[in-house]
């Protein structure tokens, strides 16, 4: 029997982490989940709510502890990082994924994390998928589709708006990116 892919979800008890668990609900039995968070009781509550029929483990983790981040990532085939805000918690999770060659997915997509990954990764080609929150999605797929309709494209300018709920972590990261890069045009994830 083929071993199940192990998906690590950090920040599993937060607003975004619960949303990710809800999305994984349709394929609970196909994967093994490792849920990471700071509170054991909350981890058990979300596990019982969202992963009733799934194979899972929970792990207490402080994402500001580099050794704990490495320990968590070593147990995963892919890491979905829903912890935040990255502007306060730092980059130990993505660094651990890059060091261990484990694909990394995050809802954050601002320039802060992108700049850090580009500086840290050097020749490393470990997949890193950013901005799985508000954007990308259909917005970027439409832009790609449009570029394929022409022989040459000089520029695409995209505007995105909506009426979404932002967690406190997301708001902190967005504001930090705007302050840090106030003299540049900055895309937000």
Mean pLDDT of the chain: 81
**pLDDT higher than 60, residue 136:** no
In angstroms, the CA 66 to CA 42 distance is: 22
- Split at pLDDT 50, 70, 90, the class of 79 is very high
Say if residues 33 and 57 touch (Cβ distance below 8 Å).
yes
Which ranges of the chain would DSSP assign to H, the alpha helix? 15-24, 40-50, 66-74, 86-89, 92-100, 111-121, 138-148, 168-180
3-state DSSP percent of the chain in helix, strand and coil, to 5 = 45, 15, 40
CA distance linking residue 80 with residue 177, whole number of Å: 21
**What are the pLDDT digits (tens) for 40-73?**
999 999 988 988 878 899 999 999 999 999 999 9
pTM metric for this prediction: 0.76
CB 131 within 8 A of CB 105: no
Which are the contacts of 45, defined by CB distance < 8 A and separation ≥ 6? 13
Residue 177 has pLDDT above 70, yes or no: no
């Amino acid at each position: 029997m083929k071993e199940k892919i192990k998906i690590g979800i950090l920040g599993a008890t937060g607003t975004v982490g619960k949303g990710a668990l809800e999305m994984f609900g349709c394929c609970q039995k196909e994967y093994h989940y490792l849920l990471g968070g700071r509170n054991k009781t909350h981890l058990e509550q979300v596990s019982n709510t969202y992963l009733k029929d799934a194979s899972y483990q929970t792990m207490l983790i402080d994402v500001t502890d580099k050794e704990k981040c490495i320990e968590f990532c070593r147990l995963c085939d892919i890491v979905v990082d829903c912890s935040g805000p990255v502007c306060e918690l730092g980059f130990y999770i993505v660094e651990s994924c890059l060091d261990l060659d484990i694909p990394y997915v995050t809802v954050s997509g601002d320039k802060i994390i992108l700049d850090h990954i580009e500086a840290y990764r050097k020749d490393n080609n470990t997949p890193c998928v950013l901005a799985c929150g508000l954007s990308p999605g259909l917005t970027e797929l439409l832009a790609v589709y449009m570029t394929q309709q022409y022989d040459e494209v000089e520029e695409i300018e995209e505007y995105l708006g909506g009426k979404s709920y932002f967690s406190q972590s997301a708001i902190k990261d967005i504001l930090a990116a705007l302050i840090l890069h106030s003299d540049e045009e900055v895309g937000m994830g």
